[in-house]
Amino acid sequence: MYCKKVVRLIAGSPYNSHTKQLFIELGILKIAQIKQLQINEFMHRYTYNTLPSSHANFYSLASDIHSHNTRILASYRSEFARTNTRKFSIRCVGPEEWNRIPQDLRSISNLKLFKHQLRIWIIHQND
């Protein structure tokens, strides 16, 4: 992949060296990590009401469905998806990604700080 070649070039590493540690050292996100960052940014904006009003009732919380005290009350409920088109849409992927990140990250209300902390968490997630 060209992305790995560029990272090796930036780091001055040989053409056949492993890139996992280079991505971490340089603080560069891979394509899947960029996707994860953007989905969670969307979910943060939804949670803190900074999206346009057309997204007002896009998701439902688990607390809307379950009234008893559980640890997932602050989590978003995932939507059912019969087709891949729906399964990979923001409506289905958003709650899954948002519920995957730690609660202390989700509680950061400042978007800039959230994105910074999320980026650090994503980079070090698979060390």
pLDDT digits (tens, 9 = 90+) for 80-103: 778 888 888 888 888 989 999 999
Is-contact 67 86, C-beta < 8 A?
no
| Spatial separation of the C-alpha atoms in residues 73 and 67, rounded to whole Å | 8
Is residue 52 situated within a structural domain?
A: yes
Task: Kindly state the average pLDDT of the residues 55-76.
Answer: 63
Classify residue 61: in a domain, yes or no: yes
**22 belongs to a structural domain:** no
Residue 14 in domain: no
In this structure, of 41-45, 48-52, 63-67, the range with the lowest mean pLDDT score is 63-67
User: In angstroms, what is the C-alpha Rg of the chain?
Assistant: 18
Is residue 101 included in any domain, yes or no? yes
In the numeric block, which tokens belong to residue 108? 């950061």
Domain total of the chain: 1
How does residue 73 score in pLDDT terms, banded at 50, 70 and 90?
Answer: very low
| Separation of alpha carbons 56 and 8, rounded Å | 44
Domain encompassing residue 56: 29-122
95 class by beta-carbon count within 10 Å (0-12 exposed, 13-18 middle, 19+ buried): buried
Asked whether residue 117 is assigned to any structural domain, the reply reads yes
Asked if pLDDT for residue 5 goes beyond 70, the answer is yes
The reported pTM is: 0.80
